[in-house]
Amino acid sequence: MPNAKLMQGNEACTLGALAAGLDFYAGYPITPSTEIAELCAEELPKIGGKFIQMEDEIGSIAAIIGASLTGRKTMTATSGPGFSLMQENIGYAGITEVPIVIINVQRVGPSTGQPTSLAQGDVMQARWGTHGDHPVVVLAPGNVKECFELTVKAFNIAEDLRVPVIVLTDEVIGHMREKVVLPEPGSLKISKRKAPTNPAGYKPYEADLDGGVPLMAAFGQGYRYHVTGLFHDETGFPSNKSDVTDRMLRRLMRKVEKAEPQMRDYFEESAHDCEILVVAFGSSAMSSLSAVRQARAQGIKAGLFRPKTIWPFPEETLRAYAAKAKRVIVPEMNLGQIALEVERVIRNGAPVERLGKVNGELFKPEEILSVIMGGKQ
Partner 1 sequence: MSDSLSYFRQNRLPHIWCPGCGHGTVTGSLVRAIARLGLDKNKVIVVSGIGCSSRAPGYLDFDTLHTAHGRALAFATGIKLSRPDLKVIVMTGDGDCTAIGGNHFIHAARRNIDITTIVMNNNIYGMTSGQYSPMTPKGMLGTTAPYGTVERSFDLANLAIAAGATYVARGTAYHAPLLIDVMEKALLNKGFSVVEAITQCPTYMGRKNKLGTAVEMLNWFKERAVNVKAAAAMSPDKLEGKFTIGELYNKSEPEFTAEYSALVEQVRRKFDTFQGGVRECAQNSD
How many other CB atoms are there within 10 angstroms of residue 85's CB atom?
18
Alpha carbon distance 73, 189 (integer Å): 15
Dist CA 207 CA 194 (whole Å): 12
Q: Which is nearer to partner 1, 244 or 373 (CB)?
A: 244
Residue 226 in contact with partner 1, rule: CB under 8 A: yes
x/- mask, partner 1, residues 148-187, rule CB under 8 A, reads: ---------------------------x------xxxxx-
Q: Which of 13, 22, 30, 62 binds partner 1 (CB under 8 A)?
A: 62
Query: Which CB sits closer to partner 1, 183 or 336?
Result: 183
| CA atoms of 259 and 314, how far apart (whole Å) | 12
- What type of residue is 229? G
Task: Write the DSSP symbol of residue 47.
Answer: G
| Preceding peptide of 331 cis, ω within 30° | no
For partner 1, the closer of residues 12 and 279 by Cβ is: 12
Burial of 169 by CB count in 10 Å (0-12 exposed, 13-18 middle, 19+ buried)? Answer: buried
**45 or 212, CB closer to partner 1?**
45
Choose the binding region for partner 1 from 35-43, 134-142, 240-248, 349-357 (rule: CB under 8 A). Answer: 35-43
Determine if the peptide bond prior to 110 is cis (ω within 30°). Answer: yes
- Is there binding between residue 54 and partner 1 (CB under 8 A)? yes
Which residues face 232 on adjacent strands?
238
Residues 203 and 236: their CA atoms lie apart, in Å, by: 7
Extended strands (E) in 86-216: 100-106, 137-139, 164-170, 177-181
Residue 132 CB, nearest distance to partner 1 (Å)? 13
Contact status, residue 113 vs residue 155, Cβ threshold 8 Å: no
Nearer to partner 1, 185 or 375 (CB): 185
Binder of partner 1 out of 59, 82, 121, 365 (CB under 8 A): 59
Footprint of partner 1 on 310-369 (CB under 8 A) = none
Among 39, 126, 333, 346, binds partner 1 (CB under 8 A): 39
Would you say 146 or 269 has its CB closer to partner 1?
146
Give yes or no for a contact between 182 and 6, defined as CB atoms under 8 angstroms apart.
no
Considering only residues 79 to 138 of the shown chain, the ones binding partner 1 according to CB under 8 A are 88-89, 92
Q: Give the interface with partner 1 as residue ranges (CB under 8 A).
A: 3, 7-8, 10-11, 14-15, 18-19, 24, 26, 35, 38-39, 42-43, 45-50, 52, 54-56, 58-60, 62-70, 72, 74, 88-89, 92, 175, 182-186, 219-230, 237-238
